[in-house]
Amino acid sequence: MDWLLLVIHLTTILTWQNCHAGDVVQMSTEKLLIKKLLTEYKERGIMGRPVERHHEILTVKFGLSLIQILDLDERNQVLTTNVWVTYQWKDIYMTWNQSEYDNITKIRVPKGSIWEPDIKLYNYADERMEERRDANMVIESDGTVLWIPQAIFKSVCKIDIMYFPFDMQTCKLKFSTWSYDGGQIDLKELYGVETGFELSDYVESNEWNVLGSGVDRNVITYACCPDAPYVDITFNIRIKRKPAFYNYILILPCILLSSLTLVLFWLPPESPAKMQLGMNIFVAFFVLLLLLNESTPPASASIPLIGAYYCLNMIMITLSTFLSVVIVNLYFRGSKSRVPRPIKTIMVDYIARIMCMHEQVKTKKKSGQESNGIVRGGNRRDKNGKYDKVGYYEMQAENSWKEQPNGLLNNEHANFCEQDKTEMSTSLSGHFDTMSSDVKEIKTYLKKMIDKITDKDAKEVIAREWRIVALVLDRLFFFLYFFAIVISVCAVFKNAFFDTTDYSNLKHNH
């Protein structure tokens, strides 16, 4: 019985020891080191720069690795970038002897457990409270701290849309400490002055190409703190838009409508299709202008050249349509006004010759002169012509055409002819009076008809003159519009084919 009680007691002791053996946890050397360093750091306090004397300057190296260009909002002028921010400084309170801790060279501590510089993006345009993501800090045995948090920055970027959609933009990101001046913290470039953004992990954008980047270190004195200059690091990035998308919705329709506008100037001025086509093209350019307005800043310092090109087309189309309306009005009301002689001289004798239309205008002019000559000739013949009211021989007495060869009549017929002559004269006199009144009526009617034809020809000549002026003006507008298209296309597409930008200050690091 005693033996059984002893066995039970020993079993209970062993079971209790086994159960409590797990409460004793052996910590690794790394954990012991981290716990020791953070405990001592907490006792010293997180606030304050990690320097032995307050007048010492702490050097902080700063760099950016560009991962992706998320967006460039032209309307709000905001650049959104995905970056890795790199900080590097030395903390004298986070050092240890490697040989005492199993040759541990690096440890990781969470953000907020030690001091960190308050470097901010000065030209921010962000509504969020926090730009960076949490990331551990890597600390070496000599106290060097390396911190690389992920961040999405939204910065103000001045947009120049003059050459849209073949534009190139230069955006800046300015970083500096918010509360430490240059006498307390000195900022330096981590990857060197000529590198700018580190682009080894860059993901190509669908809309923008990176042409180059650079970085500048500046020392600025602000109005709030005139005695303490601040050091800032400003990153520059040069990007160029990929215009493939805009080529189909803005450029190609623009080229097609411009070609159609050239056809507009070859239609006859009096044709109704000219005005209808002109108004349709005007509306089409206005729709393109609305599409352009959706992609550009509403209060930009400069308007895009393609927008000016649209407006130029609309102005030319408006002038052509207005000219067509005037010419049609004058064409149907040509008798009320002639072409002023100075205008006719300039248009027909000078501009038509320059526009290679002299032969065409000369033919029309000659045709008009011949028409006038015919009318004038008709009038002249009308004035000089003689109407044979009655035949000459029918108007004479019988003795004037029945004379004998010796000029005497037969004696036996003398009395009879004299009587017959008296009766014939009486009859012919009444007949002549009737025919004379009929001929006068015919003359009056013919004169009215000739005057009407003359007036009609005169109106046609005046209308023809205005039409010639309209044709010359249309041809002049055609060449002006053609040269305007060539000049505007060279100006708009200059950046697409000729890039003369100096990139000596923006180094590319692919």
**Whole-number percent of the chain with pLDDT over 70:** 71
C-alpha neighbours within 13 Å on the C-beta side of residue 445: 6
Question: Which range, of 188-202, 385-399, 429-443, averages the lowest pLDDT?
Answer: 385-399
pTM for this one?
Answer: 0.66
147-151, 345-349, 431-435, 505-509: least confidently modelled range: 505-509
* Chain segment 110-120, per-residue pLDDT in tens: 988 999 999 99
Average pLDDT over residues 177-202: 85
**In 272-387, beta strands by DSSP E:** none
Whether 175 has a pLDDT exceeding 80, the answer reads yes
Residue of 404, 488, 158, 492 whose CA lies nearest to 300: 158
Q: What pLDDT sits at residue 402? A: 47
Q: How many CA atoms lie within 13 A of 279 on its CB side?
A: 7
Q: Is 126 exposed, middle or buried (0-12, 13-18, 19+ CB in 10 A)?
A: middle
Provide the pLDDT confidence category of residue 310 given band limits of 50, 70 and 90: confident
Residue 379 is inside which H or E element, if any? helix 358-384
Query: How do the residues of the chain divide into helix, strand and coil, expressed in percent and rounded to 5?
Result: 50, 20, 35
Between 265 and 358, the more confident residue is 265
Q: Angle 252-264/414-492 helices, nearest 10 degrees?
A: 160
**Is residue 103 within 8 Å of 141, Cβ to Cβ?**
no
Q: What is the pLDDT of residue 191?
A: 79
Beta pairing class for 119-121 and 168-177: antiparallel
Q: What is the mean pLDDT of the chain?
A: 76
List beta partners, residue 138. Answer: 108, 146
pLDDT above 80 for 392: no
CA–CA dist 99, 141 (Å, integer): 10
Asked if residue 229 has pLDDT above 80, the reply is yes
Distance CA 220, CA 175 (A): 12
Which residues, 6 or more positions from 213, have their beta carbon under 8 angstroms from its beta carbon?
Answer: 66, 195, 196, 197, 199, 235, 236, 237, 238, 506, 507, 508, 509
Backbone angles phi, psi at 222, to 5 degrees: -95, 160
The CATH class for the domain spanning 29-242 reads: mainly beta
H or E stretch covering 58: strand 58-73
Bridge partners (DSSP) listed for residue 216:
234
Is it the case that residue 21 has pLDDT exceeding 70? no
pLDDT tens profile 401-428:
444 444 444 555 555 555 555 666 666 6
- For 308, residues 6+ apart whose C-beta sits below 8 A from its C-beta are 488
> 255-266, pLDDT tens digit by residue?
888 888 788 777
Give the number of other Cβ atoms within 10 Å of residue 465's Cβ: 21
What's the gap between Cα 7 and its chain centre? 99
Task: Band the pLDDT of 397: cuts 50, 70, 90.
Answer: very low
Domain ranges of the chain: 29-242, 246-387+443-500
Task: Write out pLDDT tens, residues 75-115.
Answer: 888 999 999 999 999 999 999 998 888 889 999 999 889 99
